[in-house]
């Protein structure tokens, strides 16, 4: 990038990031589509709860495996080329569901989608680290989650209509088309923008980051310097513990409402919208609060861990919903729980942008996402079998309520003090 290149305007930064977030909404459409239209798919293929849990686990495992490579890919290609490759791949993978007529074809489509959609998370965090100053990154992440939540809120209302018109396969095809449209918008906005790409020397000589950082240029493989760092393990294990609850709610909340309150697919729209509205608002509030506190002199360590603690305490009362006989308080409580999750997750991702050099951000993010998805694989397998065994949702909700406090304890043990790496922005006109 030439030194004379003028920086991007704030408007263009936010416009590019908004388009990326919209692409992410279409990327994530497959999860609520599968959850909401579960009865239709089970009727088509004769699946049990365990079969559905296994399908969820296959998707999670595929994404988890892919994260081991997509983080390196995003760091290697940079933001712009990763967006081109990722959006194209996951859009066509979603559209492939339109031709799935057997269980194994559905599994193949899910594997393809899990692998390709794994580009989105490291790409989003890398883009935040590339486009925004350190104190603004939490707000940007909160905005991204709010936009994703807004898309998810609309899905319970839109998906049944799409299913009636085109079937569950057609609903996934629409998501793929939306991803391609988002890519076209990105290409228009990104004309003339110079996104920095790591040099060969930087990719071959990643110094270990964090408290033990050096500048000696020691040779490492793609993940060597990351896996030997204490901060990495603080981040990724906390991500795995907290994401177990996130994926459990995403895949099983609709089923819980059906079984406990007898809701139909159409009746699920409002309570699911409440849950995902809580998700988006929780992220925006956590992002705004983090930025506000940082601007008023709080240390980054104090801000991140305070937000994580408050978020964990918000989730802790989750088992109380099992004692409520009225549906609407349950729906509101689930929205609060989703808000707590997003506040916690936002702080983890913000910590990555704080402590990790820009050239390694996508890899650390992807490894965290790998661990989070492996947590999702485990909870999907366990949940289906717990329900088939007749234990109900009690043990699952009890675990979910404690997972964030456990994650925070682990995080604080391995990262007692968060210190910023201080990387510069890497984009210009």
Please give the model's pTM, rounded to 2 decimal places.
0.70
Which pLDDT score is estimated for 141? 85
Domains of the chain: 10-428 (1.20.1250.20)
Rounded to whole angstroms, the Cα distance separating 199 from 70 reads 18
Taking alpha carbons only, the member of 196, 134, 199, 129 closest to residue 358 is 129
User: Is residue 133 within 8 Å of residue 204, measured between CB atoms?
Assistant: no
> For residue 390, what pLDDT is reported?
84
pLDDT of residue 236: 93
How far CA 73 is from CA of 166, 360, 403, in Å, comes to 35, 11, 31
Structure token pair of residue 285: 């509030």
Tokens 């339109």 belong to residue: 98
Burial class (CB in 10 A: 0-12, 13-18, 19+), 43: exposed
pLDDT of residue 148: 77
Q: pLDDT for 77-113, tens place per residue?
A: 888 999 999 999 989 988 888 888 888 888 888 888 8
What is each CA distance from 236 to 112, 116, 366, in whole angstroms? 24, 21, 9
Please give the pLDDT value at position 222. Answer: 61
E-strand spans in 119-213? 194-195
The pLDDT value given to residue 204: 52
In tens digits, what is the pLDDT along the chain, a chain of 429 residues? Answer: 333 345 678 888 899 999 998 888 887 777 667 777 777 778 888 778 778 778 877 877 887 888 888 888 898 888 899 999 999 998 998 888 888 888 888 888 888 888 888 898 899 989 988 888 888 888 888 888 778 777 777 776 787 788 778 877 787 788 889 889 999 999 999 887 877 666 555 555 454 444 443 333 323 456 677 888 889 999 999 999 999 998 888 878 888 888 888 888 778 778 888 888 888 888 889 989 999 999 999 999 999 999 999 999 999 999 988 888 778 898 899 999 999 999 999 999 999 988 888 788 888 888 888 888 788 878 878 888 888 888 888 899 999 999 999 999 999 999 999 988 654 445 555
The two structure tokens encoding residue 166: 């085109």
Give the pLDDT of residue 314. 94
């Amino acid at each position: 990038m030439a030194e004379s290149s003028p920086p991007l305007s704030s408007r263009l930064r936010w416009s590019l990031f908004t388009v990326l977030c919209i692409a992410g909404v279409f990327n994530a459409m497959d999860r609520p589509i599968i959850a909401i239209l579960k009865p239709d798919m089970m009727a088509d293929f004769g699946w049990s709860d365990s079969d559905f849990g296994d399908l969820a686990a296959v998707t999670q495992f595929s994404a988890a495996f892919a994260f081991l490579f997509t983080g390196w890919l995003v760091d290697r290609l940079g933001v712009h080329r990763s967006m081109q490759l990722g959006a194209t791949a996951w859009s066509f993978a979603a559209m492939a569901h339109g031709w799935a007529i057997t269980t194994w074809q559905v599994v193949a489509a899910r594997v393809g989608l899990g692998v390709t959609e794994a580009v989105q998370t490291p790409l989003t965090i890398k883009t935040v680290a590339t486009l925004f100053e350190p104190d603004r990154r939490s707000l940007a992440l909160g905005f991204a989650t709010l936009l994703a939540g807004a898309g998810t809120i609309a899905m319970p209302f839109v998906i049944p209509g799409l299913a009636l018109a085109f079937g569950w396969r057609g609903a996934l095809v629409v998501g793929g088309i939306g991803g391609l449209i988002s890519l076209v918008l990105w290409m228009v906005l990104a004309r003339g923008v110079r996104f920095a790409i790591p040099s060969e020397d930087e990719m071959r000589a990643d110094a270990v980051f964090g408290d033990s950082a050096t500048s000696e240029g020691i040779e490492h493989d793609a993940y060597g310097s990351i896996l030997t760092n204490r901060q990495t393990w603080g981040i990724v294990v906390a991500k795995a513990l907290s994401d177990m609850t996130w994926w459990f709610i995403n895949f099983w909340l609709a089923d819980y409402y059906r079984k406990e309150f007898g809701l139909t697919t159409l009746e699920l729209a409002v309570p699911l919208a409440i849950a995902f509205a809580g998700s988006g608002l929780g992220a925006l509030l956590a992002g705004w609060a983090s930025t506000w506190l940082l601007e008023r002199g709080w240390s980054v360590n104090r801000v991140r861990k305070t937000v994580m603690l408050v978020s964990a305490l918000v989730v802790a009362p989750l088992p109380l919903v099992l004692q409520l006989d009225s549906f609407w308080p349950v729906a509101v409580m689930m929205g609060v729980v989703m808000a707590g999750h997003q506040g916690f997750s936002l702080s983890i991702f913000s910590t990555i942008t704080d402590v990790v050099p820009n050239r390694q951000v996508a890899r650390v993010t992807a490894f965290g996402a790998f661990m989070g998805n492996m947590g999702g694989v485990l909870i999907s397998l366990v949940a289906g079998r717990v329900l088939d065994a007749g234990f109900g949702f009690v043990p699952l909700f009890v675990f979910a309520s404690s997972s964030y406090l456990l994650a925070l304890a682990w995080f604080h043990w391995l990262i007692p003090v968060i210190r910023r790496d201080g990387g510069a922005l890497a984009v210009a006109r």
